[in-house]
Chain A
Amino acid sequence: MTARIGVVTFPGSLDDRDTQRAIRLAGAEPVALWHKDKDLRQVDAVVLPGGFSYGDYLRAGAISRFSPVMDTVIEQAKAGLPVLGICNGFQVLTEAHLLPGAMLGNDHLHFICRDQKLRVENAETAWTGDYRRGQEIHIPLKNMDGRYVADPYTLDKLEAEGRVVFRYVDFNPNGSLNDIAGVTNEAGNVVGLMPHPEHAVEPLIGSGRTDGLPFFTSILKKLVNA
């Protein structure tokens, strides 16, 4: 058996089809979800993909967070549904308060697209089981508003509880506090990160590495073994 993983398309989502492809390559079944539709079509997990939903004309993710589909995602995430937010999806998750912190504009004020080195800090979330803690991976990063910030109390709590999932290594591309590239919620079912694992799933394409594929195999294993 396999797992059904939903990918939400918001207006302005860009990496929705890429994410579906990554899910397919990992051996799971991608299911397209529409932002106006509350129905999650009985998927086993949900990915909120990257892009510029609603143009990011307001704060990134601030409008999508109120999409009908998000009502269900929020409700079910709280009940344990695995949810991954990539880039704009991460921004939506912070706006929805499923993850702590917020994203500001990059400190250098430019869009940045690069193959980014990361360290896996937590290999126990629903989405990172196929990594090793301390493993260094390369995942493409591309964003305008990627500077992760949170108040000192929240940061300390995240660090103390091991909820920083990924950290930038060698170069902090956007001024994120504590070099944070991705975080998880207390239960470990909701993960958000700025880099794009769906762009690192085939040896020929994009960065030419497959360091992102374990995201999708991790969740598949977890769901199938559950």
Chain B
Amino acid sequence: MSRTPLDTVEHAAATPDVELPWAELGLKKDEYERVVEILGRRPTGAELAMYSVMWSEHCSYKSSKVHLRQFGEKAPESDALLVGIGENAGVVDVGQGYAVTFKVESHNHPSYVEPYQGAATGVGGIVRDIIAMGARPVAVVDPLRFGAADHPDTKRVLPGVVAGIGGYGNCLGLPNIGGEVVFDACYQGNPLVNAGAIGVMRHEDIHLAKASGAGNQVILYGARTGGDGIGGASILASETFDDAKPSKRPAVQVGDPFQEKLLIECTLEAFREKLVVGIQDLGAAGLSCATSELASNGSGGMRVTLDDVPLRDSTLSPEEILMSESQERMCAVVEPEKVERFLQICEKWDVIATVIGEVTDGDRLEIFWHGGKIVDVDPRTVAHDGPVYERPYARPSWQDELQADDANKLPRPATSEELKDQVLKLVASPNQASKKWITQQYDHFVQGNTVLAQPEDSGMIRVDEETGLGVAIATDGNGRYAKLDPYTGAQLALAEAYRNVATTGAKPLAVSDCLNFGSPEDPAVMWQFAEAVRGLADGCLQLGTPVTGGNVSLYNQTGEAAIHPTPVVAVLGVIDDVARRTPVAFQEEGQLLYLLGDTREEFGGSAWSQVIHDHLGGMPPAVDLERERLLAEILISASRDGMIDSAHDLSDGGLIQAVVESALLGDKGARLVVPDGLDAFTFLLSESAGRALVAVPRSEEVRFNDMCGARGLPATRIGVVDGDSVEVQGEFALPLATLREAHEGTIPSLLA
């Protein structure tokens, strides 16, 4: 793209007829014309680079914006929210002067192209978002979706993704405490690699991405800028994979977790000394994004000398420098008298830091190269005034037929023997099987504050050693449910994550989401998206948990085939004392098992329908958010008052899945009795929402029952923790050893 003479603003004004490669950079014709209109002339190459990356789907949310507004419009009253949507990550008050920031993002497309680096840099990016808020990152979680477990390409993608997440996160010293791994053929060419992170800070330490105060210096620090990830944002994330196009491998960035670890420590030290006015991480769209967002969120303009950017490759053109997505870089705005100290801290940590510009009085973002002005724009037009599309959407023609194909009518096991075989097949199926082979590649212990980690219902981190204050996080999302009904599917994802936080004893406070969908240019996909957002916004309003931020990933499709709509929801909770947390594992023989909630015949989208019948149809389980709220209150009270010793949410795979997991983790069996009014099949395998399994010490039974009775939550005694098998009276018994072999053998046999 390098042209001679230098394409300065002056040159652009003098040469209106020069054709620029706007289409190659991903801009549509009308978008390019809008840029020309804004500037009153043709853009320079550098300006075009900036607009093209910042107006890409990935950065501008141009297709999703009109729907995402509901998260603000329907936001519930919450005094917990300190910083809402729009900043690098939302911030939630968790009490005792602490604030927690958390967010989930996608790194789907890069992870398919280059699994290790794609996933690694996904972790790196989300962690920088957390640091940029002023917080110390304390944990990561990784919701993942892959193609069929036995597909050959899964064996390429999954181990690479897992090694990348581990390789980066482990080296950063962040415990990996949660997430999910789901297999489904619909993700074959489009794995979903979502990465979430949590950070903790004191209220007074919150930092924002804005550049204010004329004369303040703009410091770029961290890694040198190289040629990696150029155009990643606009090209990789915003177009569907298509076999006809050339390989896009060079657009994936390469991560250096060691550099990021230094960046974390040096940034936190600078925060401690109150040296930073505003800060922004360099992620998608690199310097284009950091400079335009810092400038447009502040009160003034900004002048940047691009020649001062430390380069890894001296042949880079200014356009490439502006677009580069080289990892492990941050941009800080620092008052002139504090610059020296800031640079000293960077030197202490061996981090390269360079003043590249300053905040100005005006309202322009001006960028210079070799003495010539190559960018002169209103930064707001780059960062915030991107195109907004009202994409057409319509309920797909096949939706009725899909919902009419009722899973409740599928043939059910006719004998106890058949039921037993199906149960064993289910707990061994890739989605229900133990993911230990994957999660043991992640460090869960580092930092010494991990109270709970996967396979617990939520990950839990101690925040304060003295008081025991802790936070919990769970992520969930069931694409099969969402395919059957996106509105309900999104609410089920929310309900499950909310419930998972509550089963561990924490109070759900706030939500982040990662919305993974197909192409927005397909009205059917757009309808799925609109419905899911509406469902999630309505659900958050009802549960009183505001959405604090999130991420949208579109174009997850290969050719005509889109992935299942997959809204992944993360719920953050707080627990006053982590000593009261409730684990999944059965603790003591003789404890009584109670099933909380109502069980109905609900098999649409169920694990049973998938594993036994390879079927997807009917309606997903009904959602009752008031019931979810009541169940959560009971679980939290019971945990706080010591009435339950273990608890497990019921979701995919139903009751039997939960019993088997609790039994295997505690190495203690269970004897179950099918309650009156239910058949064994429905009892064991229905996926009705709003339910949990709890183990109650005998001494607490009366008190626990009284509480559930007084508050109107159905609680059914279904058995006892006992023996070394899982026995369903009158039906079958499965020894723990058999269950363990089935449950833990699957993933290693497919992937190791």
Contacts and interface: CB of A to CB of B under 8 A. Distances in A.
Interface of A: 11-12, 14-15, 17-18, 21-22, 50-52, 54-57, 108, 110-114, 140, 142, 144, 196, 198-199, 201-202, 204-207
Contacts of A12: 171, 258, 261-262
B445 A207 contact: yes
A113 B349 contact: no
A205 B256 contact: no
Given A52-B170, A55-B256, A11 B262 contact: yes
B678 interface: no
Contacts of B617: none
A112 B173 contact: no
28 contacts: A11-B258, A12-B171, A12-B261, A12-B262, A14-B173, A14-B447, A15-B173, A15-B448, A50-B446, A51-B173, A52-B261, A55-B171, A55-B256, A57-B258, A110-B166, A110-B441, A111-B443, A112-B440, A113-B440, A113-B442, A199-B445, A199-B446, A201-B448, A205-B450, A205-B462, A206-B444, A206-B448, A207-B445
B350 A11 contact: yes
Contacts of B572: none
B446 A18 contact: yes
Given A52-B258, A114-B440, A21 B445 contact: no
B449 interface: yes
B445 to A, nearest CB: 4
B443 A142 contact: yes
A205 B440 contact: no
A193 to B, nearest CB: 15
B171 A56 contact: yes
B388 to A, nearest CB: 42
B445 A204 contact: no
B173, B442, B444, B445 — most chain A CB neighbours (10 Å): B445
Contacts of A207: 445
A110 B448 contact: no
Is chain A's interface secondary structure helix, strand, loop, or mixed overall? loop
B445 A196 contact: yes
B163, B259, B439, B449 — most chain A CB neighbours (10 Å): B449
Contacts of A11: 258, 261-262, 349-350
B258 A55 contact: yes
Nearest first, the 6 A-B pairs at minimum CB distance are A55-B258, A14-B173, A18-B448, A199-B445, A52-B171, A206-B445
A12 B168 CA distance: 12
B712 to A, nearest CB: 33
Given A52-B257, A205-B450, A205-B462, A140 B445 contact: yes
Contacts of B449: 205
B1 interface: no
Contacts of A114: 440
Contacts of B166: 110-111
B446 A111 contact: no
A30 to B, nearest CB: 13
Contacts of A17: 447-448
A15 B170 contact: no
A21 B462 CA distance: 14
A142 B445 contact: yes
Contacts of B144: none
Contacts of B350: 11
B231 interface: no
B707 to A, nearest CB: 25
A25 to B, nearest CB: 10
Given A112-B440, A199-B448, A206-B445, 16 more contacts: A11-B261, A15-B173, A52-B170, A56-B171, A110-B166, A111-B163, A111-B166, A111-B170, A111-B442, A111-B443, A113-B170, A113-B439, A204-B462, A204-B578, A205-B450, A205-B451
A215 to B, nearest CB: 14
B167 interface: yes
Nearest to B436: A114
A142 B163 CA distance: 14
Nearest to A114: B440
Contact of B444 (A110, A113, A144): A113
Interface in B338-363: 349-350
B579 interface: yes
Interface in B564-601: 578-579, 581
Contacts of B439: 113
B173, B257, B449, B752 — most chain A CB neighbours (10 Å): B173
A12 to B, nearest CB: 5
Nearest to B258: A55
A204 to B, nearest CB: 6
Contact of A15 (B261, B441, B446, B581): B446
Nearest to A9: B265
A54 B170 CA distance: 13
Interface string B416-457: 000000000000000000000001111111111111000000
A52 B258 CA distance: 8
